[in-house]
Amino acid sequence: MGQDTEIMSRYTLPTGTTTEIITFSVPDDQPGVQTLTVHMSFLGDPAHQLSMVGYGDDSNFADGLEIVDTKGTLTALTLKLGPRWPNGWTIKVDPHPALTQEGQNLPLTIQPESKDWELSVIVSNGRITTGDPKIKVIRPTS
């Protein structure tokens, strides 16, 4: 019996950040038939790019993202589809409609009193749907 494990990328917000936009893009060189990859870049540091990888249909294994909000100031997170978003690719966060076209975005509100905040993201390219990657906002306590 396999384990449901997650390999989380980590991004630390610049101090005092209240709003962040994560722009998703698809690399030209997809790794293989049973995986799909999206890149994530950030408004607070556009040169910083992380990847999220999904493994096959019905797999429980998928990368995710932890956003570290050390000062607890983040109140708005927007997921956005970047340039050249391929036809047939979607990003879905329930209960919201799927993002399917370049430039579409999904604004989300994060309550300042929330210690940790998490959402499940489903990425699909029409053939493969990710397991259950998460985007988590973590607010460490002093």
In order of start, what are the domains of the chain with their CATH numbers?
8-138 (2.60.40)
**What pLDDT does residue 137 have?**
93
How far apart CA 14 and CA 68 sit, in angstroms, is 9
Q: Is pLDDT of 89 > 50?
A: yes
**Which tokens sit at 83?**
């340039």
Mean pLDDT of 81-102: 92
**What pLDDT does residue 68 have?**
92
Are 23 and 40 a contacting pair, CB within 8 Å?
Answer: yes
Cα separation values, 84 from 100, 101, 130, 136, Å? 11, 9, 20, 26
Q: Is pLDDT of 3 > 50?
A: no
Stated pTM of the model:
0.85
**What pLDDT does residue 4 have?**
44
**What pLDDT does residue 104 have?**
96
**What pLDDT does residue 2 have?**
35
Q: Is pLDDT of 78 > 80?
A: yes
Q: Which residues of 92-128 are buried (b: 16+ CB within 10 A; e: fewer)?
A: bbeeeeebeeeeeebebebeeeeeebebebbbbbeeb
**pLDDT tier at 6, thresholds 50, 70, 90:** low
Which pLDDT tens digit goes with each residue over 98-125? 999 999 999 999 987 788 899 988 888 8
Which pLDDT tens digit goes with each residue over 19-71? 999 999 888 776 555 667 788 888 877 777 888 777 665 565 567 888 999 99
* HSE of 2, CA atoms in CB hemisphere, 13 A: 6
